[in-house]
Amino acid sequence: MQVELRGITKRFGEIVANDSIDLTIREGEVLGLLGENGAGKSTLMNVLCGLYSPDAGEILINGEPTVFRGPADAIQAGIGMVHQHFMLVPVFSVTENVVLGVEPTGLLDHLDLEKGRREVREINEAYGLHVDPDGLIETLPVGVQQRVEIIKVLFRSADVLILDEPTAVLTPQEVEEFFQIIDYLRDAGKALVFITHKLNEILEISDRISVLRRGKIVGEGDPAELTRPKLAEMMVGRPVTFDVAKAPVDPGPVLLDVQDLTVLRDNDEIAVDQVSLNVRSGEIVGIAGVQGNGQSALIETLTGLRRAAHGTVRFDGHDITRVSVRKRHTMGIAHIPEDRQRAGLIGKFSVAENMVLNNYYSSRFSSGPQVNWSTVHKSTARAVQDFDVRTPSVFEPVAHLSGGNQQKLVVARELSREARLIIAGQPTRGLDVGSIEYIHERLIESREQGCGVLLISSELDEIMALADRILVMFKGHVVAEYDTAEGPVNKSSIGLAMAGAAL
């Protein structure tokens, strides 16, 4: 089966997400689609799987022009998508998720789950997937959830599989396993589209590569003839250096000292298990690990959002284990939250209001019970300039800013006060390369001014580029620690630790 996109154009208001794109997908082949966050990859694939209808252009299946009126049509045509954010119902079992939408039924609309289970087992065997058909999704590891997504697509007998950023949530080891599954599928004659912004992976797995930038295809080629720098330049539109320049580490006294910390999740499961660590001033400590291994709970406890079940947290010699969020802010702990839209910003509030979201009460911005908004506006305007936040005015609702500018605003807020410790959770997730570089520079700058930085990221490359010391978290434990001052760190060794091999 061959799918051809011809001149696909998709607009959202005045933004052109896809600009007359041509693309061909062939069976028994992996097409790598490379592009930055916001380049239009996901939009293009949503057009292909029937979620969006294109404003112009056509889709040809085996040469026949086809119109998708909805996802059901695309599924019918044999096109299946594995979404970046899994489309699984957490409280359903594997089988229930797989059959949803194409349920085998009996009398009185009765749901025949037994038949579904049988088919799941068959697909399991055919492609070596090893998934328990009765497992409850929310209890399964992410890697397995992803395989459920693949089973879902195969259950609908799809011939074209679109994989949207499939490796973002996997450990390096899980990525290897995943690539094996892709090989199986390719050998079985499926057509695969592999969407990513990671250069190594696309070079490793693709048979052909297309590069998307600002909604246009800017380059195509054979992975054997392409190199990382070449691809990066095509993707970003200018030469990119992968190395972050920073001075040798010169750490000062211990700022943050965590001893024997245990933290529970809301459901009383242990999220952080007797962890001890410290951060000194003038160094960046990176915490690597696959999402969901306790990093979020650790950050929440360090910033006062979640109570510690056991252990102590000391900041600058003071015991802050039971100190409130606000008190920690005023003591000099800055926090860049993992999820800026949910926890870092208020979309309907103006840039200025967001700028003082956690320090409106300080004597700089308020007198008595009243906030001095004119002071706030002036100070925000200055910070907006300093941190290169692109906004028409300080009164603009932040929801109107781009993701990169929103994150710069959060960084501006957290770094423009007298912070001595910066806790940064996934500070560059979902940003374009320009914003990523900018935020990295700012974090390094803070380090050089003597701040301690605790960086939590699931992007191993980011941790390796920035951190002076690297801790690896797995299932709530710190399972390994590396010091970059003592020589280069072996990436695959970290990868193994992230998968729990060090235990």
Applying the rule CB under 8 A, the residues between 193 and 222 that interact with another protein are: none
Candidate segments 233-241, 314-322, 444-452, 473-481, binder of another protein by CB under 8 A: 473-481
Residue 197 contacts residue 165 (beta carbons within 8 Å): yes
Answer left, alpha or beta for residue 124, where phi above 0 means left and psi between -120 and 50 means alpha. alpha
Residues 6+ apart with CB under 8 A from 18: 8, 9, 10, 40, 43, 44, 47, 54, 215
Q: Return the bridge partners of 371, or none.
A: 366
- Residues 128-147 binding another protein (CB under 8 A) are none
Q: 91 is written with which tokens?
A: 């409280």
Nearest approach, Cβ of residue 484 and another protein (Å): 8
Nearest approach, Cβ of residue 503 and another protein (Å): 6
Q: Which residues of 130-139 are buried (b: 16+ CB within 10 A; e: fewer)?
A: ebbbebebee
Candidate segments 22-30, 100-108, 314-322, 428-436, binder of another protein by CB under 8 A: 100-108
Q: 56, 58, 110, 252: which one contacts another protein (CB under 8 A)?
A: 110
Torsion sign over Cα 408, 409, 414, 416: positive
| 425 touches another protein (CB under 8 A) | no
| 318 touches another protein (CB under 8 A) | no
In DSSP notation, 323-364 reads --HHHHHHHTEEEE-S-IIIII--TTSBHHHHHTTTTTTSTT
Q: How far apart are CA 137 and CA 91, in angstroms?
A: 6
| 419 touches another protein (CB under 8 A) | no
Q: 78, 286, 304, 452: which one contacts another protein (CB under 8 A)?
A: 304
SS3 479: strand
| 436 touches another protein (CB under 8 A) | no
- Residues 33-62 binding another protein (CB under 8 A) are 46, 49, 51-52
Quick note: the x/- pattern for another protein over 329-368, rule CB under 8 A, is: x-----x-x----xxxxxxxx---x---xx-xx----x--
| 482 touches another protein (CB under 8 A) | yes
| 72 touches another protein (CB under 8 A) | yes
| 150 touches another protein (CB under 8 A) | no
- Residues 390-409 binding another protein (CB under 8 A) are 391-396
Residue 491 contacts residue 321 (beta carbons within 8 Å): no
Nearest approach, Cβ of residue 30 and another protein (Å): 22
Q: 192, 202, 384, 498: which one contacts another protein (CB under 8 A)?
A: 384
